[in-house]
Amino acid sequence: MSADSQVSAIRVDDQDFLVTSTIERCPKVMMVRELFKNALEAAADAPEDGKVEFLVSDVQGTPKLTIWNNGPGMDEEELARMTNLAASIRKEKGLDKNFGMGAKVASLPSNKRGLRYRSCKDGRVHETILCEREGVYGRLRRFDTDGNDIGDVVEVTGLIASEGERSLDADWTEVTLLGNRMEQNTVEDPYDGDPLQKRFWLANYLYHRFYTLPGNVEVRHMEGTHARKTGSRRFRPISERREEGTFARHETAELPNGIKIHYIYDEPFNDTSHNRSVSGSITSDVSTCAVVFHGEMYGVLSGRYWTIEAPTFGIPFGAKHISVHIELPDDFAVRPEGYRQFLRYIEGEQEQVEASDFAVQVLEHRPEWLVDLIHAMAPNTADSSDEIRDKLQEFLNRLRVRSNSPKIEVGGDLSVNPGTGRGATPTGAGSGGGTSAPRHKPDDLTIVPSGAQMARLSQNLERAPKLIPLDDNEQIEEKQIIGRAGRYYPKSGELFINMKYPAVGEMFDQLIKEYAHTPDPEVMQVMARGHSRNSMIQRVGLAVVFALAKRLNKQWDEEAMSKALEPESLSLAADNYFDSMQDARRSLGKSLKTSRIEIEEETERAA
């Protein structure tokens, strides 16, 4: 601090606690991101083409994951300084740049036994091991065979030369994950079982995190670190595969604010459950939706999480083959949070950035070919859904104007009775003296005079849900409504209805049992099935309409609305098919010229 400084700088009173809390609060799953990012940045500064390799190292007979790069190396002093917190070599620090502690902080909780750094510079190799011992994080003190303390950064040039696996003619740096236990295989189990990982987790993680790579850097997965049996494989991010024609079709929409929306169609692969991009790949073929910023993917939705949310983005069908990536310009007002796991808006309440924030833009800019594809993958249905929707719309319009308003009181020429409504304030006694009703005047501009009606334009502002019956088991599973009646998407106004829901079959079975002796049983079954399906659609649709009316009349807040529109709530409404039976019986009796009662009497006589 200078003598004329106006501020006494804050110091760290308990350094050990600060270091420990900083490390142990970091999400462990950010480990590979941080290590790989460091390797990429170093390799980008290599004198020739940069290289990053993931490989298997044998450490005391156990496979350990190693990340190697050919960027500028570090000498003894640089290696010691780099392994401190908030320290970095040849990098600019900043809230939206480098923190100088990401890789170390993210890696140590899963590598308390050791995180081994080796770096070659000018033909000499130095090594240090970050670890945790007795609750303290730091560099491991090393001893020679005679028990002499030789420091926490040691030279291992002779050892590397004798192994003959690494050249000393050029700079390089590698990090090896020693894990928490000597017997821990960090190639397959990087987090010591918490969380568990699939065997070939590494390539998939990188594929769903790094959207682009530096143009002069090649990334390779060496044997044992990828899903193929032998040899090494080059890692290619989504953007590169997109431009190389890996996917059946793609298109990018550029918005005036600089946002780019990438639409990708990955067609089915032969007769398998996979997409075409799985062919020859070491990475996942599942479709994804994500926000891309500075070449990295945030808030990634994949698999069932994406297919559930996809209708909000204008993709009600085929989401397992369609990916959407929202790429923000470099100067967009967002910033990664401290541990780089999420994006946050810089302004306002600094909320977390989600792909759903851009759902409207994604929907509005869908290419025509993609819209055609979605329509082609939509289910065919003979249900009278449009007619039911029109009835629901009429009902919703009526429900919207149920709130009470001041009305003329019969006993007074200008007096009004506010009732339970709003919009009028008493001004004194009425014209009939002290016994007459008090006069009122409007105090709420939202209240209109008696007799006013809702305009057609206003009636259409809140639309009844678009009804989409689903009979295909795969589509029902995609929407996660197995055992549930339906799922409603408020942003798109789409209501997906599970036509395999038990209430449909139960009502159908009851109807055909009651009308089993009709002269034309085949016609009866067709009609019974139609009534069972349409009444199911109507019941679930009505449940949504009643909930929408609550919001229109400002009776429920958004939390209450969300609960009312959950699949479980819609299922309860669907279960009550008993009230629908009377209308179905009436229609069947009229069409078939018979009645349920007559059938019962005939059955009794036959017995």
pLDDT over 90 at 458, yes or no: no
Domain extents for the chain? 15-221, 237-278+285-376, 404-430+438-445, 466-606
Quote the pLDDT of residue 227.
86
What is the rounded average pLDDT of the residues 231-235?
Answer: 95
Pairing of strands 494-498, 466-470: parallel
Q: Is 65 helix (H, G, I), strand (E, B) or coil?
A: strand
Rounded average pLDDT over 29-47: 95
450/98 Cα distance (integer angstroms): 65
Mean pLDDT over residues 572-580, rounded?
Answer: 92
Q: Who has greater pLDDT, 579 or 12? A: 579
Question: Pick from 237, 249, 338: which is nearest to 290 by CA?
Answer: 237
Whether 553 has a pLDDT exceeding 50, the answer reads yes
Tell me which amino acid residue 571 is.
S
The Cα-based distances of 427 to 7, 341, 448 in angstroms read 62, 60, 19
Q: Is pLDDT of 44 > 50? A: yes
Confidence of residue 321 (pLDDT cuts 50, 70, 90): very high
User: What pLDDT is recorded for position 531?
Assistant: 92
Residue type, 58: D
Q: In the chain, pLDDT over 70 holds for what percent of residues?
A: 83
Instruction: Choose between 139 and 433: higher pLDDT.
Output: 139
pLDDT-derived band at 138 (thresholds 50, 70, 90) equals: very high
Asked if pLDDT for residue 5 goes beyond 50, the answer is yes
Helices (H), 83-208: 102-107, 157-163, 201-207
Whether the CB-CB separation of 356 and 362 falls below 8 Å is answered with no
Does 397 or 160 have the greater pLDDT score?
A: 160
pLDDT on residue 520: 83
Look at 449 and 233; give whichever has higher pLDDT: 233
Predicted pLDDT at 365: 97
**CA–CA distance, 529 with 506 (Å, rounded to integer):** 11
- The set of residues, in sequence order, having a beta carbon less than 8 Å from that of 3 and lying 6+ positions away, is none
pLDDT at 8: 81
Q: What are phi and psi of 548, to 5 degrees?
A: -60, -35
- Could you tell me what percent of the chain has a pLDDT over 90? 62
pLDDT value at residue 501: 97
pLDDT in tens, 406-419: 444 455 454 445 55
pLDDT at 21: 80
Structure tokens at 131: 């670890």
- The yes-or-no verdict on residue 509 having pLDDT over 60 is yes
> What pTM was computed for the model?
0.78
Residue 383 pLDDT: 54
Identify which of 463, 464, 482 has the alpha carbon closest to the alpha carbon of residue 473. 482
Confidence of residue 587 (pLDDT cuts 50, 70, 90): confident
- DSSP state letter for 587: H
- CATH tag for 15-221 (out of 3.30.565, 1.10.3470, 1.10.10, 3.40.50): 3.30.565
State the pLDDT at residue 99: 43
Handedness of CA 57, 58, 63, 64 (dihedral sign): negative
Q: Are 73 and 67 in contact (CB under 8 A)?
A: no
Does the pLDDT value for residue 430 go beyond 70?
no
Which pLDDT belongs to residue 555?
81
Confidence of residue 310 (pLDDT cuts 50, 70, 90): very high
Query: What is the pLDDT, as a whole number, of residue 222?
Result: 97
Q: How confident is the model at residue 95 (pLDDT cuts 50, 70, 90)?
A: very low
Q: What is the pLDDT of residue 397?
A: 84
Reading the block at residue 79, the tokens are 């290696």
Confidence of residue 452 (pLDDT cuts 50, 70, 90): low
Split at pLDDT 50, 70, 90, the class of 602 is very low
Q: Would you state the pLDDT for residue 417?
A: 53
Q: What span, in angstroms and rounded, lies between the C-alpha atoms of 55 and 202?
A: 11
Q: Among 503, 473, 468, which residue's Cα sits nearest to residue 489?
A: 468
Q: Which of these, 200, 236, 204, lies nearest to 218 by C-alpha position?
A: 236
pLDDT in tens, 176-219: 999 999 999 999 999 999 999 998 899 999 999 999 999 999 99
438: confidence class by pLDDT, cuts 50, 70, 90: low
- Return the pLDDT at 603: 43
Check pLDDT > 60 for residue 221.
Answer: yes
Cis peptide before 502 (omega within 30 of 0): no
Task: Indicate the pLDDT class of residue 97, thresholds 50, 70 and 90.
Answer: very low
Amino acid found at 578: F
Distance linking the first and last C-alpha atoms of the chain: 106
Q: ∠585-588-592 over CA atoms, to 5°?
A: 140
Return the pLDDT at 442: 56
Query: 598-602 long-range contacts, Cβ below 8 Å, gap at least 24?
Result: 599/514, 599/515, 599/516, 599/517, 599/518, 600/514, 602/517
Alpha carbons 465 and 493: distance in angstroms, whole number: 5
Least confident of 90-104, 266-280, 313-327: 90-104
Average pLDDT, the chain: 86
Crossing angle of the two packed helices 502-514 and 578-592, in degrees rounded to 10: 40
Q: How confident is the model at residue 457 (pLDDT cuts 50, 70, 90)?
A: very low
